[in-house]
Amino acid sequence: MQTISENACFGGVRGVYSHASKATGGEMTFGLFLPEEARHVPVPVLWYLSGLTCTHENAMTKAGAQAWAADYGIALVFPDTSPRGEGVANDDAYDLGQGAGFYVNATQDPWKPHFRMWDYVAEELPALLGEQFAVDLDRQAISGHSMGGHGALTLAMSLPGRFASVSAFAPIANPTASDWGRKQFAAYLGADETTWRAHDSSLLMAEKGFDGPVLIDQGTEDQFLDLLKPETLAEAMVQRRQDGAFRMQKGYDHSYFFISTFMEEHVAFHAEALLG
């Protein structure tokens, strides 16, 4: 692992690091905020998964989460959204290929050699964090935006007991029925749509739900509402009587202005689950 940069931040350290990834077969970069408490004891971890076209950097610089995480003594992890670099498959469209990993393990060429973001986020990066930093992997929570909200929800519901809580900002809620999902799943996972179901948060909510609290925020003026399909997830939560809240925020769109407005509440939500 190599240190790209480190800066003092709200009494702790904001760092950017790179490492050779076996999961993706190349170099991966991630961001990490460690609060002051990490100098003395391992601290709980809140994952933040970003959306289409983003890198590890977007949320680190735009979401404002570090200030709130510092208040509670919680680490923040910002993975990249896909493998990158020479020799990694790509597409001219912004919503497929580099920057659009969709948090799945690709089974189809030309994607399968590198696009294994599920294994990277679920297994490899947590193990690396546990080896290199003062983090408590017995206390984890997860959040994300858009494609990252989809990833956060599907990981949380598919890994029982891993995360104490899950939240999402404007998640891609029903990708098997949306052009933000069907296109990518066909490319990464193939034509058999039964393999797609494990990566649809609305279907997972209906089938198994989450063994902890859920918080979803969705802007009413989101320009991508037809692609996100938030109503399917809301209906599934109600039908399952899921412990949680689905909030439609009047006037907000899909941007980081929306995310930064409600980030304090999301960090507080996870802090309650992680710290009691």
Active site residue 200: no
Cα–Cα dist 2/126, whole Å: 16
- Torsion-angle region of 95 (φ positive above 0: left; ψ -120 to 50: alpha; else: beta): alpha
Q: Which of 146, 178, 201, 202 is catalytic?
A: 146
Q: What angle do CA 142, 147, 151 make, to 5 degrees?
A: 40
Cα–Cα dist 157/163, whole Å: 9
Active site residue 19: no
Active site residue 222: yes
> Residue 153 belongs to what H/E stretch?
helix 147-158
Q: Which of 82, 114, 222, 266 is catalytic?
A: 222
Cα–Cα dist 254/53, whole Å: 14
Q: Any long-range contacts for 137-141 (C-beta under 8 Å, 24+ apart)?
A: 137/45, 139/44, 139/45, 139/164, 139/274, 140/44, 140/45, 140/46, 140/47, 140/164, 140/274, 141/44, 141/45, 141/46, 141/47, 141/165, 141/166, 141/167, 141/270, 141/273, 141/274
Q: Which of 56, 150, 199, 254 is catalytic?
A: 254
Phi, psi of 243, deg, nearest 5: -65, 110
- Residue type (1 letter), 156: A
Strand partners, 144: 49
Residues serving a catalytic function are: 146, 222, 254
